[in-house]
Each structure stands twice: as C-alpha cells, then as structure tokens.
Amino acid sequence: MSYPTNVKIIKLPCSGRAEIIHLMKAFEEGADGVFVAGCLEGDCHYQTGNLRAKKRVAYVREMLDQVGVGGERIVMYNLSAGQGPRFAEIAREMTEKVRQLGPSPIRVAKQKAAQSVSKEAA
Amino acid sequence: MIIAKPKPIEEIAASIENRNKVLVAGCDGCVTVCEAGGMKEVQIVASALRMFFKQQGKDKTIDELSLTRQCDRPYIEELQERINDYDAVVSLACGAGVQFLAEMYRGKVILPGVNTCFIGVTEQRGEWTERCQACGDCMLGSTGGICPIARCSKRMANGPCGGSSNGKCEINKEIDCGWQLIYERLKELGELDRFERPTDAKNWSTSRDGGPRKVIKEVSQA
C-alpha cells in the first residue's frame, strides 16, 4: 500500500479524540490540509466518536472560512480499519485536492516572514 | 447560569485590528459551562485570530488565559502584573466580567468576545434555554415553578393571552405558551384554584424599571 509521503499521520484512539483546537493548531502551524479518518458511521467502538468528529470538522471548516484560510482544506472521511487501499486512495485524493488549492496562506505568510528576517540578518 | 455565545471571529478581529498585543481572557464560570468563553474557547478564538492576522502579514501577539471568575475582584486582580504587556484584552466573560475588568483596569481597552444572552439552563449538550429574567420579585411560588416573565413572550402576569394556540405561542410555533405550561403544571399539582384570583399588579421597580440594581447583605460585609 503506498500513499503520498507528504501525509503526516497523527494516530488517535478514536476520531472523537480530535478536538477543535487540535485541528485548528494543525492549520496554525502551517498544514495545507487536514483530513480526519474516522470509522464508518454506525461502527464507532465508542458509539459516537466519529459523529462528534464530523461535527467538529464542520465547525473548523466554518472557522477556516471566517479566518480566510478556506474551509475546503479540511475534510472528514469514514472508512474501516480494514480498508487500507481506501486509505491510500483518500490520501492521494486529498493530496491532489490540496495541491490544486495551493499552499496554505498561513504557510505562505510564515515563509515570507522567515525570508524577511533572514534578509535583515544578512 | 448566564448563557452567552461567541461573537463571529471577523467582529473580534475588526475590534483589535489596530492593537498589536492582545490577551484573550476567558472565565471559568458560567461561560465555560455554556461553551462560549472557557479555556477551550479561549484557545480556539486566539488560534483563529492569529491565523486571521498572520495571513494578512500582520505580526500580532495574541496570548491566552482564563480566570477563575471575572465577576470577582480577587480573581481579576491576578491580571495586575501581566495586563500592561498588552494593548487590549478580549474578554470571553459575560457582560459583567467585561465591565468589571474595564473598571479595574481603567487605562486598558477591554473588548467583548461573546454576546451575553440570558439566564438559563442546559437542555442537553449544546442547547441552552432561557428560564429567568432576574425581575427581582420572584413569583414562581404561585405559578407552578414556571416563570411567566421569562416563559411568556409578553411577560403577562395573568395569562394565557389570545395568541396561545394548541399550547404554542403565537410568535413561533416552536415556543411553548408559558401560561399553558403553568396551567398544565398547576393542574397536575391540583392547584387550579390559583386561576380564580388574578395575580396582583407586579412591582417592576425591582426589575430594570428601578434603574441599575444593587444587593446588600450586611452580615456578610467586611
């Protein structure tokens, strides 16, 4: 199973563990996109973890639109632990989507700021 | 508890546009319970504001903190040492907390980060409803524990009015008629005779009609 190397995996016991602030932080640190891979709806070991994650993703999406980063950079997917190939497919799909959107404006701003600092130093 | 809801990020961002160092200050009281202004919301609002300004190329310092309560001096005094590091404070407390901060730190700009809504209860996670309007002269004892001031859209002391239909209020079919609720409850309690005497004219001087209010309990005073 191969998927794009640019995808960094954060392992959680359940997608319901991903809080709003965790998702926000990823973008604040410069992530171009985030996808939350939860179990199939109705199949959550903790009953409603993936449904909570879905709501939080929707909330963060709205927040990203408000701050100008763009809500389309966060997506929730549902798949089972046995669907490795599907995971790889999603990773490719998401990577392609983010590539089309271009780099996150936060990352661009951070790079610009770093460049101006290094110019000053030089 | 006091129920509030977060202001839109754009509104908060516009209010601090010209400030470089900003503290987002939460309150661990009511607004934490109604998920509008506790530490979790402080982190989210601060993160959103940092992203908002970062991508505009504006380098602002936006820090985070939450106080035990913003409606008690000993807790807001905890800001004494830090507050001068900031140009402005965005308070996620209710309106009382925002004002108390502004009173204590007179030279500092204190901005509201939430809209304070009402005194209410948690119906279920993520849903809060109004129960009390703090009229200052509680009549729940004669209305089956259901407040006609908070639950009747017209605040009628003797109801229901002609707009009550199938137990719902005429302003919105999703809103229960407060007086229908009172009737049903008194019926259950076997106290329907309550309706045989009208409620005395309500003394509104204990409510907002008497101007800003104050409560004094001498025995507790220093």
| pLDDT tens digits, one per residue of B84-101 | 999 999 999 999 999 999
Q: For residue A100, is it within any domain?
A: yes
Residue A106 and residue B8: Cβ atoms within 8 Å?
no
Q: For residue A8, is it within any domain?
A: no
Work out how many CB contacts closer than 8 A connect A with B. 52
Length of chain B (residues): 222
| pLDDT tens digits, one per residue of A33-91 | 999 999 999 999 999 999 999 999 999 999 999 999 999 999 999 999 899 999 999 99
Q: For residue A9, is it within any domain?
A: no
Q: For residue A24, is it within any domain?
A: yes
| pLDDT tens digits, one per residue of B42-92 | 999 999 999 999 999 998 999 999 999 999 999 999 999 999 999 999 999
What is the secondary structure of B132-157 as a DSSP string? E---SS--GGGTTT--HHHHSTT--S
Which of the residues in chain B have pLDDT under 50? Answer: none
Q: For residue A5, is it within any domain?
A: no
The whole domain housing A92 covers 15-121
SS3 call for B131: strand
Q: For residue A2, is it within any domain?
A: no
| A113 vs B contacts (CB less than 8 Å) | 57, 59
Residue B57 and residue A109: Cβ atoms within 8 Å?
yes
Number of domains in chain A: 1
B9 min Cα distance to partner chain A (Å): 7
Q: For residue A116, is it within any domain?
A: yes
Q: Which residues pair with A74 in a beta bridge?
A: A34
Q: Which of B69, B5, B19, B12 is nearest to B79 (CA)?
A: B69
Cβ within 8 Å of residue B98, ≥6 positions away: B70, B91, B110, B111, B112
- Where do the domains of chain B lie, and which CATH numbers do they carry? 2-118 (3.40.50.2300), 137-210 (no CATH)
Q: For residue A113, is it within any domain?
A: yes
Residue B44 and residue A24: Cβ atoms within 8 Å?
yes
Q: Which of A119, A36, A19, A101 is nearest to B41 (CA)?
A: A19
pTM tops 0.90, yes or no: yes
**pLDDT score of A19:** 97
**pLDDT score of B30:** 98
Q: Which of A26, A27, A31, A6 is nearest to A96 (CA)?
A: A6
